[in-house]
Amino acid sequence: MENSQKPEEILLDINNLTFSFHTYGGVVKAVRGVSFQVKKGEIVGIVGESGCGKSVTAQCILKLNPEPPGFFEDGSIRYKGEEIVTKSDREMRKIRGMEIGFIFQDPMTSLNPTMRVGKQIEEVFVGRPEVSKAEAKRRAIEMLKLVGISDAERRYSQYPHELSGGMKQRVMIARALVGKPGIIIADEPTTSLDVTIEAQILDLLKQLQKELGTSIIFITHDLGVIAKLCDRVLVMYGGKVMERGSVRDIFYRTGHPYTHGLMHSVPRLDISKDTELEPIEGTPPDLFAPPAGCPFAARCEYAMKVCYEAQPPEFPLEEGHASACWLKHPDAPPVEWADGGKGGEA
Amino acid sequence: MGKYILKRVAVSVLTLFVLITVVFALVRLMPGDPFSGEKMTPEIRANLEAYYGLDKPLLEQYITYVKNLLRGDFGYSMKYLNRTVNDIIASSFPYSIDLGMRALALSISMGLVFGILSARYRGKKLDFICIVIAILGTSIPDFIMGALLQYFFGIQWGLFPVAQYQGIQYTILPSIALGFYTLAMVSRLMRASMLEVVTQDYIKTAKSDGISNVRIVWKHQIRNAIMPVVTVLGPVVATTLTGTFVIESIFAIPGMGKFYVESVQKLDYSLVLGMTVFYGGFLILANLIVDILYGVIDPRIRLAGK
């Protein structure tokens, strides 16, 4: 959908990515034909509920999903034009940390408890002869300062249990950034933090992104975070992309019943407190046997016959905005979202 | 860290003092005395009791004993004529400690290696072999193990000497017999611990940093997985060193075991007391070292000890 962009600006190009896991119960199709691009310096959000395939998609980019049982069924991931899917573990090590950094969800368990935090940041440079030990240490301390940790020299030689949760996540960010990667993948980095710390971490990420020009792929289930941080958004469901577009497109020109449902199941300050939240009825699809049609059809109040029979292609709505919903087919009947007129106001 | 060590040392000294007091009282509570026998006359008994100071009030004896202990003097044996307890310990302990240390070194190092390999190759042949060894080790008692080793390696195949303790080739069979149980336990513990660590988030973090697999195993997995093994080292040292008594008698090794058993049977007060205090002190020291080691490996313990 982003054909208007010049090709050299595209850092990451994912095309028809399909990733599955062998399990005792059969093959789970976790990611089913996801395509998107990340341009230099932009923040792409991926939003969806638990089990929609967003984390698996993110980990595919660095090949962090265990293989086996996981395996690439189809598709390609190109970073700066280089194919990642076919790379060996040894080749991937050059990309991990140095080209693409990864921030995990839970800072409490994502740091090694028996290693000083400074050493853990420096580890990115181990086995890379171009960076000397002294240089690695200098950059680690510089990075600790950059992520807003005061007294960085002292913190450098402390252990994770001596830091607070927010500080640990700052260390994780420093760790992801120290190799000066082109892209950072942040997999729900604020989910396990309390809201005040969450706001600080989000501000930090946005500020660092501006200073360093790094692209960020931000994975979350929180639409509020998406609105605050991202340039573009992918809404995922059942291993597929339901809707994509700019933050404005997604929030004000919602083009998919699932996105609509997501937004109306979140409490808001600007609606009367007597208004009940509208949960999305039903449960996510069984990825052992994904439905033939749209994965959301069974829970969708607008579902038509075709929705159960054929998977909808992505219908372009505006520039850079597309929705995989049969309602957007030119022959489909026009639909007004049943939301009491609250669908798209500012 | 200094404060942590100081605290552990203080606790150890206190433990040793309690041990001395309790054992002193318990030995005297046992029925009978060292001098009972068919030819014993009241005069000789009185002479002996006066010689060993047993005619004095118990409290005075205790104070004298502790005073002598502080000077490193365990007193005279009441059964071995003209031999001090220090002398008996000095002649027999080197054998026991040599055997014990060999067994510990063998079992801990091999146990760790087996555990790590077993976890790395989970479900493969190597894992299966390690599991079989671990099961055999935990289920065969050391005296049977000793006899089996003597029979096959000593008598049938003639690879090693069957008994006694006169050179490096003599030490191998008793070390294996003594260390086999510990080896099995350490390897099972390490395997379980490694498998748990592999699933930890920080391993994935390390992977996402582009760190090599070898370094992840060494720096991230083993260091964290070894914690539970270190915790059991204290008791392991205790079981191994007390296990030497049995192994020593099977392999005819002139260690402390023989003296210890005899001293209890014959109510040799000073020898029982001396050996127990010596052994106890040794085990307390082993535990102290393990405690300090624990603090070195896991920084979180150091903090708790402040």
Taking the CA of residue A31 and the nearest CA in chain B, the distance in Å comes to 20
pLDDT, residue B19, reads: 93
B171 has a pLDDT exceeding 90: no
Residues A222-241 pLDDT 10s:
888 888 888 899 999 888 88
- Cα separation, A173 vs A144, in Å, equals 9
In a domain, B196, yes or no: yes
pLDDT at B208: 85
Same domain, B242 and B106: yes
A98 has a chain B CB within 8 A of its CB? yes
Phi-psi region of A35 (alpha: psi -120 to 50; beta: other; left: phi over 0): beta
Mean pLDDT of B216-235: 85
Residue A178 has pLDDT above 80, yes or no: yes
Of the candidates B210, B212, B220, the beta carbon closest to that of A112 is on: B220
Mean pLDDT of B121-141: 89
> Which region among A132-141, B94-103, B164-173, B262-271 has the lowest average model confidence (pLDDT)?
B164-173
A98 contacts B300? CB cut-off 8 A: no
Q: How much of chain A, in percent, has pLDDT values that exceed 90?
A: 2
The answer as to whether B181 is a domain residue is: yes
B112 in a domain, yes or no?
yes
Residue B83 in domain: no
How far is A142 from B298, CA to CA, in rounded Å? 27
Cβ contact, residue pair B204, A96, below 8 Å: no
Minimum-distance CB partner of A64 among B204, B223, B298: B204
* Partner-chain residue, chosen from A98, A112, A179, that has the shortest CB–CB distance to B202: A112
- Is A129 at the interface with chain B, CB within 8 A? no
Query: E strand or H helix at A267, and its extent?
Result: none
Q: Residue A34 forms beta bridges with which residues?
A: A17
**pLDDT bucket at A338, cuts 50 / 70 / 90:** low
Domain ranges, residue B136 = 91-256
Confidence check on the interface: ipTM exceeds 0.85, yes or no: no
Q: Average model confidence (pLDDT) for chain A?
A: 82
Task: Check whether residue B243 and residue B301 sit in a common domain.
Answer: no
Residue B154 shares a structural domain with residue B216 = yes
- Please tell me the least confidently modeled range out of A321-335, B58-72, B132-146, B201-215: A321-335
Q: Residues B8-49: pLDDT tens digits?
A: 899 999 999 999 999 999 988 888 778 777 777 888 888 888
The tens digit of pLDDT for each residue in B228-272 reads 888 888 778 877 877 788 888 888 888 888 888 888 888 888 888
Nearest CA-CA distance, residue A242 and chain B, Å: 28
**Would the pLDDT of A340 be above 70?**
no
Same structural domain for residues B118 and B218? yes
Both B96 and B207 in one domain: the answer is yes
Which pTM was predicted? 0.75
CB pairs under 8 A between A and B: 81
- Rank A19-28, A141-150, A307-316, B105-114 by mean pLDDT and report only the highest: B105-114
- The enclosing domain of B203 has a CATH number of 1.10.3720.10
CB distance B100 to B171 below 8 Å: no
Identify whether residues B6 and B131 lie together within a single domain: no
B107 plus B251 within the same structural domain: yes
Q: Please check whether residues B276 and B252 belong to one and the same domain.
A: no
* Residues B225 and B124 occupy one common structural domain: yes
Q: Check B210 against A89: CB less than 8 A apart.
A: no
Question: Where would I find the H helices in B199-268?
Answer: 201-208, 213-215, 223-225, 227-250, 256-265
Average per-residue pLDDT in chain B? 86
Could you tell me if residue B57 is inside a domain? yes
- Per-residue confidence band for A342, with pLDDT thresholds at 50, 70 and 90: very low
